[in-house]
Copies of this chain bind each other. A is one copy, B any other.
């Protein structure tokens, strides 16, 4: 007898949680499609040689390699990424597969190419709570050929806003910054070198943990040796958050006035255009803010960058991030493919939301249970169940007769809202009795009117929910 268990570092859910998870996936997908993004799925296995061209270091060490039983037997020296690595590996994100996909199918795609992809990725992470070795990423990207207007950067916050509004997990703020603006600003403070900028940003990132004084001392201290007034300006810069659209534009104006280089001016112009279009797309002012401390992957993003935080749970960190990059697939094609995109790491987010009590196990995906008191009634029960299914209700029919109390208890535990009862009496009269487990109400109705009545009940529930929202 083998103990049934999953490997460490994967998330496996019981049905009530799986239903809640699935609903989140559905909301994300629906909103991605609403903004005109097209579905793409790529194989979980890629050729190691193709997958591992760009990344080195940390990412590569976390890669999972795949070998069939036959390949395991053979010497590991053949095939692979030139270093005796196995021929196949599991994707560790959806960005490299997107780059491969776009480069491979370049002449079959229409640009700007707008795709969404919601699949699992694999990383050999350390085994600790909230870290997953298998997790969903839900990505959108718009890829241009040769060029891609900064206007596309403005669509992304509109998508984020639509997704998280419908996910209904509390107020959130989309925080925007621009890498060119950052680079220009730091240059103006005398921090011109890219690596030094990265080091300064790393220190600044410790503001919340170590406090302002510690960071100030480090930056003015031996290692960095920055002038005190430059550090002051840096501290003020990274602490800035706009509260309104007007305030954001003012801050950009001020930077443009003070600033003295092209990068800064370009970053300001881009952010200004993005902000104005975000507003034109109907995102409310309370939903977005400038935050000059956001950097994201320094070696990857080149323009607009995004992070999204839950207002009441800043400690969860960013729940949706991304940005603008100059060239998606330089390792596969000479074509220049600039793009902009975001990713939601749904597995981790779901874990965090559960821990914070922000997502509850959903009611069942089953809406109606048709009970059965006596085997002789079964054909009637099955006919009623068939009618309900044809009318679009997810319906479970009890297949073995038993005590009603037990069947009610089952519906209750399973979260099924409507329980349909057909006794001798009902069958003789052509009616059914419906118990509404949510309202703790019950009514008897003609069979032919059952689906219509349930539809009204559900519409009322939805209307009440909408009224609350």
Binding site for B on A (CB under 8 A): 1-7, 10-15, 18-19, 21-22, 33-36, 38-47, 49-50, 53, 60-70, 72, 76, 85-88, 90, 99-101, 103-105, 108-110, 112, 114-115, 120, 122, 124, 133-134, 149, 151-152, 155, 158, 162, 277, 280-282, 329, 331-334, 364-366, 369, 378-379, 382-383, 385-386, 389, 392-397, 399-400, 410, 413-414
Contacts and interface: CB of A to CB of B under 8 A. Distances in A.
A68 B11 CA distance: 18
B389 A69 contact: no
Given A62-B68, A65-B67, A149-B399, A38 B366 contact: yes
Contacts of A62: 68-69
A43 B7 contact: yes
A389 B44 contact: no
A13 B3 CA distance: 39
A123 B385 CA distance: 38
A87 to B, nearest CB: 8
B280 A383 contact: yes
Given A14-B105, A282-B386, A414-B110, A333 B4 contact: yes
B333 A35 contact: no
Nearest to A84: B72
A331 B7 contact: no
A64 to B, nearest CB: 5
Contacts of A277: 378-379, 382
A382 B76 CA distance: 55
- Which interface residue of A5, A66, A389 has the most chain B CB atoms within 10 A? A66
A14 B394 CA distance: 32
Contacts of A331: 1-2
Nearest to A53: B2
Nearest to A158: B386
A332 to B, nearest CB: 4
B34 A395 contact: yes
B394 A34 contact: yes
A37 B114 CA distance: 34
A124 B395 contact: no
A396 B12 CA distance: 36
Contacts of A282: 382-383, 386
A359 to B, nearest CB: 16
Contacts of A149: 399-400
Contact of A47 (B5, B69, B155): B5
Contacts of A281: 382-383, 385-386
A90 B137 CA distance: 19
A154 to B, nearest CB: 8
